[in-house]
């Protein structure tokens, strides 16, 4: 599986390089240096020797590091060129997919436990947050009393998205069964979709990944057809 991921990454980069050339998109040395400086600042690599030691510990050459930076910048430029003009229209047409809720949830392994917790919460024998802190499967959620943060409709499995985005604020839902277990859900707030810089970036990234997969599929199918044609 790791080999497949690496090969897909290589093929994606070939597509990016080809289309970027067609659109005359380039990455300058100053852009690479600026992004490298940002990276060093984030990782507190104050000296050049610190950076070299960090790369050496991970088996990365300075050339490969700079190449990786160049590839990421080029991919970002291409994504902007391909999709920025259409982001507002696409967002408007798919606005509900970007609605968000502030979600708490409890996940337990058995339906009987989930139903018992639901009844205890409903009868106010225990709060939702106390139940999450005591019984959730996940250590992080136990620590944060079930807090998941802001989630979008598209980030949830359909069965959960349907329940969550149809819920009243403060209503405890469940149990809802998924492959992860039995969920109890609490929506604390509803956040209508806005085309914020973060949403714009998420939408652009999603469209770019879909485009890459489409281009790769088309390329492989074309090569297969050409191979079959040459054999006949």
The answer to whether residues 103 and 149 touch, using CB atoms and an 8 Å cutoff, is yes
CA dist 52 → 31, 67, 201, 216 (Å):
20, 15, 31, 35
Please state which architecture CATH assigns to domain 97-191.
Roll (3.10)
pLDDT number for residue 1? 62
Q: What is the largest CA-CA distance in the chain?
A: 75
Q: Concatenated DSSP letters for 205-230?
A: HHHHHHHHHHHHHHHHHHHHHHHHHH
Amino acid 212: pLDDT: 95
pLDDT of residue 118: 96
For residues 43 and 55, the answer to whether their CB atoms sit within 8 Å is no
pLDDT in tens, 197-217: 988 998 999 999 999 999 999
Sheet of strand 172-178, all strands in order from the earlier edge strand to the far edge: 147-152, 100-108, 181-191, 172-178
Closest C-alpha among 188, 182, 189, 187 to residue 117: 182
- The residue extents of the domains of the chain are 2-92, 97-191
- Tell me what pLDDT residue 232 has: 63
| 219-225 CB contacts, 8 Å cutoff, 24+ apart | 219/11, 219/15
Stretches where the chain sits below pLDDT 70 are: 1, 230-232
Instruction: Return the pLDDT at 75.
Output: 96
């Amino acid at each position: 599986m790791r080999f497949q991921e690496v090969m897909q990454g290589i093929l994606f980069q070939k597509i990016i390089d080809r289309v970027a050339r067609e659109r005359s998109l380039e990455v300058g040395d100053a852009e690479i240096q600026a992004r490298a400086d940002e990276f060093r600042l984030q990782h507190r690599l104050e000296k050049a020797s610190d950076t070299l030691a960090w790369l050496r510990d991970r088996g990365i050459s300075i050339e490969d590091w700079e190449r990786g930076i160049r590839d990421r910048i080029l991919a970002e430029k291409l994504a902007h060129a391909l999709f920025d003009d259409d982001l507002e229209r696409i967002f408007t047409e798919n606005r509900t997919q970007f609605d968000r809720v502030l979600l708490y949830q409890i996940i337990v392994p058995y339906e009987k436990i989930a139903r018992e917790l639901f009844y205890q919460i409903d009868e106010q024998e225990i709060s939702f947050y106390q139940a999450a802190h005591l019984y959730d499967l996940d250590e992080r959620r136990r620590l944060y009393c079930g807090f998941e943060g802001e989630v979008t409709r598209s980030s949830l499995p359909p069965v959960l998205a349907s329940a969550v985005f149809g819920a009243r604020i403060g209503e405890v839902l469940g149990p809802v069964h998924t492959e992860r277990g039995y969920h109890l859900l609490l929506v604390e707030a509803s956040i209508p979709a806005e085309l914020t810089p973060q949403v714009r970036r998420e939408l652009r990234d999603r469209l770019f990944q879909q485009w890459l997969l489409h281009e790769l599929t088309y390329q492989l199918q074309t090569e297969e057809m050409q191979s079959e044609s040459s054999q006949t």
